Chains A and B, each alone.
Chain A
């Protein structure tokens, strides 16, 4: 029994670690926080009693749980009092990633999530709506607004740069 569990967690981590890490990357700048969320997400995954029918379902479930976990961490009272995300701006070694982060962090968190799922995970709007338990039209609206904001930011950066 112990062996089966070990193999399952090992498989799950190997399969989805990058995706979970990317979502954490969108929201968290502190490696310790990333590690906390990472571990909690996979623990929840292992404790989840219901069957996840297929790989897509599994992926969507993990996306949702990771997003919620990041959100919970950011909104915790303790964290609000002790740390400010802006103050913890630890730069990555890659310039492209740093530029992307400076852009994406100007957007509200729920816009980041929609953009990531649509443009990186290539999920359709109905799939995103189902995964985030939101109305399809709401997702459309969020996506359009996020794109407009992102374009405006890019334009500003281009003009200034």
Chain B
């Protein structure tokens, strides 16, 4: 092996090579720019590494940000009879829209609510449902919104936003309906998915099953929310349910109050029809018979749309208006229910709170409230 490498003795640096090297180095050393350039090569490498790291970090951040924005973390189920499920990201914006039935598909085919804040999305969908005659004019419909989240606080906040969205739509479209607002854990969503149902409706059917175990989920898959509530009410009144008193009371609170609200909304719709026959348009905010109770939530849902309507509909319209709360909210654990009392609110005059849980939205503001064109 040594012999083999011995031939390398013959390799010598040529004189010209040495000379050129000496000249080059001398020139370089006497020229600061060349020295800097030589050093710069090393610095360039460092800079390239830093730049690569920065690009990598920016890329990771961008991907993480995109994922954060595009991944649904919470879900909202809207059931009228069109059943729609909205996927909501951490910023409470709608990122996915899925229909749980054909009616829901018809609705989302017409209305694109992606990337809207959840409140606006719900409002738009309810308005579209009203336009497509999914909400009965006699006020007998029940609009159910169910917020689903892993976190209890998030679910309650989302539920409140959804209720506000429904209120906004109802006051804008002047429609009457009872609102059933609820929230649940995400595990329910998986179960509902297995049954091809929206989680909101699935939860209601489960409640119905608790009252009557013979009821099958499939039988109520295409039944309207209103009819489920009525059926539950009938079951409760017949007293056949084999439940403990506490359970009975909890379900009773939920169902009866919603049913009463439905009846209240029907009554109001009829009253409104009668009024319009007498050439008196209904109170614009009254049209939105469902609002969140400000005493409970601290949020007033007097929408801009309703304010605009007030201005435009001066004919036979009152300035002092009232809001009737008919929202039934339920605890995250579904153990207890909190019913917001119907509340009458008049601007510039005394606020009258309606008693108890009547929820029929018939409380009127003071006499001044009926004074048209004030």
Query: Which A positions have Cβ atoms within 8 angstroms of B?
Result: 2, 5-6, 9-10, 13-14, 17-18, 20-22, 25, 34-35, 38-39, 42-44, 46-47, 94, 96-97, 100, 103, 115-116, 119-120, 147, 150
Q: Residue on B with the closest CB to A39?
A: B24
Q: Residue on B with the closest CB to A45?
A: B25
Contacts of A14 in B (CB 8 A): 18
B4 touches A35 (CB 8 A): no
The CA-CA distance from A21 to B156 in the complex, in Å, is: 78
Q: Residue on A with the closest CB to B4?
A: A100
Q: Which of A34, A44, A120 is most buried by chain B, counting CB atoms within 10 A of its CB? A: A120
The CA-CA distance from A116 to B2 in the complex, in Å, is: 10
B26 touches A9 (CB 8 A): yes
A21 touches B5 (CB 8 A): no
A120 and B12 contact, Cβ closer than 8 Å, known pairs A42-B21, A46-B25: no
Give the residue of A17, A42, A115 whose beta carbon is less than 8 angstroms from that of B5. Answer: A115
The CA-CA distance from A19 to B116 in the complex, in Å, is: 73
A25 touches B35 (CB 8 A): no
| B48, CB-defined interface residue at 8 Å | no
B26 touches A6 (CB 8 A): yes
A38 touches B8 (CB 8 A): no
Give the residue of A25, A34, A38, A47 whose beta carbon is less than 8 angstroms from that of B39. Answer: A47
A97 touches B10 (CB 8 A): yes
The CA-CA distance from A156 to B223 in the complex, in Å, is: 87
The CA-CA distance from A43 to B29 in the complex, in Å, is: 8
Q: Given A97-B7, A119-B5, 15 other A-B contacts at CB below 8 A? A: A5-B26, A5-B29, A9-B22, A17-B18, A17-B21, A18-B13, A35-B20, A39-B20, A43-B38, A47-B35, A100-B7, A115-B5, A119-B4, A147-B1, A150-B1
A25 touches B7 (CB 8 A): no
A120 touches B24 (CB 8 A): no
Contacts of A44 in B (CB 8 A): 38
| B110, CB-defined interface residue at 8 Å | no
A21 and B26 contact, Cβ closer than 8 Å, known pairs A38-B17, A38-B21, A47-B38: no
Q: Residue on A with the closest CB to B2?
A: A119
Contacts of B12 in A (CB 8 A): 18, 21
The CA-CA distance from A47 to B43 in the complex, in Å, is: 14
Contacts of A34 in B (CB 8 A): 17
Chain A facing B: main interface SS = helix
Contacts of B8 in A (CB 8 A): 22, 25, 100, 116, 120
The CA-CA distance from A14 to B108 in the complex, in Å, is: 84
The CA-CA distance from A35 to B28 in the complex, in Å, is: 15
Chain B facing A: main interface SS = helix
CB-CB contacts below 8 Å: B168-199 with A: none
CB pairs A–B below 8 angstroms (28 shown): A9-B26, A9-B29, A13-B18, A13-B21, A21-B12, A21-B13, A21-B14, A21-B17, A38-B13, A39-B24, A39-B25, A42-B24, A42-B25, A43-B25, A43-B28, A46-B25, A46-B28, A47-B35, A94-B7, A96-B7, A100-B4, A100-B5, A116-B5, A116-B8, A119-B4, A119-B5, A120-B5, A120-B8
List the 4 closest pairs (A to B, CB-CB), nearest first.
Answer: A17-B13, A21-B13, A39-B24, A119-B5
Contacts of A43 in B (CB 8 A): 24-25, 28, 38
Contacts of B4 in A (CB 8 A): 100, 103, 119, 150
Mask of B308-342 contacts with A, CB within 8 angstroms, 1/0: 00000000000000000000000000000000000
The CA-CA distance from A18 to B13 in the complex, in Å, is: 5
The CA-CA distance from A2 to B35 in the complex, in Å, is: 14
Contacts of B35 in A (CB 8 A): 47
CB-CB contacts below 8 Å: B248-267 with A: none
Contacts of B21 in A (CB 8 A): 13, 17, 35, 38-39, 42
| B30, CB-defined interface residue at 8 Å | yes
The CA-CA distance from A44 to B25 in the complex, in Å, is: 9
The CA-CA distance from A100 to B28 in the complex, in Å, is: 36
B7 touches A21 (CB 8 A): no
B25 touches A9 (CB 8 A): yes
The CA-CA distance from A120 to B5 in the complex, in Å, is: 6
A46 and B29 contact, Cβ closer than 8 Å, known pairs A13-B18, A21-B11, A100-B8: yes
The CA-CA distance from A35 to B2 in the complex, in Å, is: 28
Contacts of B18 in A (CB 8 A): 13-14, 17
Contacts of B5 in A (CB 8 A): 100, 115-116, 119-120
Chain A's nearest CB lies how many Å from the CB of B104? Answer: 56
Q: Residue on B with the closest CB to A36?
A: B24
The CA-CA distance from A38 to B13 in the complex, in Å, is: 10
Contacts of A96 in B (CB 8 A): 7, 10
Q: Residue on A with the closest CB to B28?
A: A43
A97 and B24 contact, Cβ closer than 8 Å, known pairs A46-B29, A47-B38, A119-B5: no
Q: Residue on B with the closest CB to A2?
A: B30
Q: Residue on A with the closest CB to B19?
A: A13
The CA-CA distance from A150 to B1 in the complex, in Å, is: 9
